Amino acid sequence: MVVGELLRTAVFPTVVSACIALIGGGFLSHSGKAKDVWQAIGLATGFVVGFVPIAAFVFPPVQIVHWLPLIAGFSALVFALAHFFGGKARYVLGSLALFAVPWITLNPFFKRWTSGQVVVSVVVLGLAAGILYGSRWKTENHAPVKSAYWVLIIAATGMSLTHLLDGGAMSGQIGGAFAAACGGLFLASLFGKGISLGPATLGVYSAIFSALAILGYFYVEVSPVAILLVYCSALSLWMFYKPLGASSRLKHIGFRLTLAILPVAIAIILLLIKASEDSYGGY
């Protein structure tokens, strides 16, 4: 049973995202834009493949969690279109996808919130996703390709672990499927010629990551400090890279990975301390 569950929620998302990114981006496409779009599709599809065994695909959605595969698919479509259109249309479509995430996921609260609370929440959370997506300008031109993928995996794994450690068993598993799909992209980049992290892929990642963060804080009640720390981990993508030689490159990658791992490690330690205190308080 455990092996079957691992296959469905971890192995299958990795294989599906890797195959789509590798076949579509590595063999069927020659332009950088097309390769990036295939990766975005692979990430969204791999995530959905891992999501369905955990929470099932329900349409129309009954609970907020059921919106996650739709958000993944919608963001993949929008960012693919945005990437091909380019220019101002890219920014408009990208903003539409990222601001739609808090609008959809926070919708049940809108009846109880004032108009001001709704606007502030959607704008702040949409901008937070936009800041993460904005790291595309660094990864597109400067970032070491492989270490950029590692950051995606580390931050997604951190999101999964914070959910699991703070009471969100289902959402933690969903976060694990997300991390597995990111791992598939890394594998594709190892074997596919010219495959690198691009804006469409980062857009889909930002949308799913943002949805999981909102789900964690507003519904699972994961510690906001832990979620913020994991978000800081993902922001290490903003580090730029200048090719100053092999040793400098290795130092930079090590520094970047430290910045990605450290916030996640702190979040986990804080949650373990919290769990220990709660357990002790129960006696």
- Decide if pLDDT at 84 tops 60: yes
- Banded pLDDT at 47 (limits 50, 70, 90): very high
The pLDDT, as a whole number, for residue 244 is 47
Cα separation of 143 and 147, whole Å?
8
In a domain, 181, yes or no: yes
In a domain, 168, yes or no: yes
In a domain, 140, yes or no: yes
Cα separation of 234 and 209, whole Å?
9
pLDDT in tens, 112-145: 988 888 999 999 988 888 888 876 655 555 544 5
Cα separation of 14 and 181, whole Å?
5
**C-alpha distances in Å from residue 253, one per residue of 187, 221, 256:** 18, 34, 5
Give burial (CB, 10 Å; 0-12/13-18/19+) of 2: exposed
DSSP 112: T
In a domain, 283, yes or no: no
Cα separation of 239 and 33, whole Å?
22
Phi, psi of 210 (to 5 degrees): -65, -40
What count of Cα atoms within 13 Å lies in the side-chain half-sphere of residue 112? 4
Contact between residue 44 and residue 20 where contact means Cβ atoms under 8 Å apart: no
CB atoms within 10 A of CB 23: 15
Domain that holds residue 222: 2-278
pLDDT in tens, 158-190: 999 999 998 778 889 999 999 999 999 999 888
- Decide if pLDDT at 214 tops 90: yes
Q: Which of 151, 148, 106 is nearest to 126 (CA)?
A: 106
Contact between residue 170 and residue 220 where contact means Cβ atoms under 8 Å apart: no
Q: For the chain, what is the domain count?
A: 1
- Predicted model pTM: 0.90
In a domain, 108, yes or no: yes
